[in-house]
Amino acid sequence: MKIADMNWMQVEAYLKTDDRAVLPLGSTEQHAYLSLSVDSILAERVSVDAAEPLGVPVFPVVAYGLTPYFQSYPGTVTLRVETYMRVVRDILDSLHHSGFRRILVVSGHGGNEPAGALATEWMADHPGARVKFVQWWRGPKFLAKAHEIDPIGSHASWFENFPWTRLAGVEMPAEQKLVPDRAGKARLVGDEMRAVYGDGNYGGLYQRSDEEMLAMWRVAVEETRALIEEGWD
């Protein structure tokens, strides 16, 4: 259930019997022909779909993350690492103050990885609290299902093209995009990034069937739900 659909008295009542919560982390950045909010949309939706049957509250997604490499794409918003760490820490502090002690942080953006290290540091300062950090799209079962469908897919390709991340009236290219192999090379940022990746797709087809995407989504939801239910010891 969404915190947006609750009042403080309902949260207080919930905390008398349970201390779990889910915090989605997203990003606002280029995703080729898809929404700039792909990472936020997916992180929040997989959290809500996973938590709903369990009655565990899901907080609003943090819609801005760490994405300095995409700044040459208009609409991208990035925070400084220091700013982001302070924001996530303040949110965790607030949840703890309310009474939440088991928090699943569900990230939809690879650049948000530093929040995982922060969560460990934060737990050291809050004995008895538990935080699990997960990049939902890196779940082993989800990745196995995705690779079963198509082994070539990454950022802004079919891999993130769900019915709820597409934009009305925007046509997807039909071909499979090929990108240069940059293994072992320095990370590109800004104009150099845009010069190499063009529209922003990191490689692969732009779209696959809804049937395939929904099959993948079901795996993601089940995998995320298991993280809410288990592994808090």
> How many distinct helices (H) and strands (E) make up the chain?
7, 3
Q: Which two tokens stand for residue 150?
A: 């198509």
Report pLDDT for 181.
85
User: Please, what is the end-to-end C-alpha distance for the chain in angstroms?
Assistant: 24
The phi, psi pair for 103, rounded to 5°, reads -125, 125
Report the relative pairing of strands 130-135 and 102-107 from DSSP bridges.
Answer: parallel
Between CA 230 and CA 10 the distance in angstroms is 24
Report all structural domains of the chain as residue ranges with CATH numbers, in order of start: 3-229 (3.40.50.10310)
Report pLDDT for 109.
98
pTM of this prediction? 0.97
185: number of CA atoms within 13 Å, CB side?
9
Q: Tens place of pLDDT for every residue, the chain, 233 residues?
A: 899 999 999 999 999 999 999 999 999 999 999 999 999 999 999 999 999 999 999 999 999 999 999 999 999 999 999 999 999 999 999 999 999 999 999 999 999 999 999 999 999 999 999 999 999 999 999 999 999 999 999 999 999 999 999 999 999 999 999 998 888 999 999 999 999 999 999 999 999 999 999 999 999 999 999 999 999 98
Report pLDDT for 180.
86
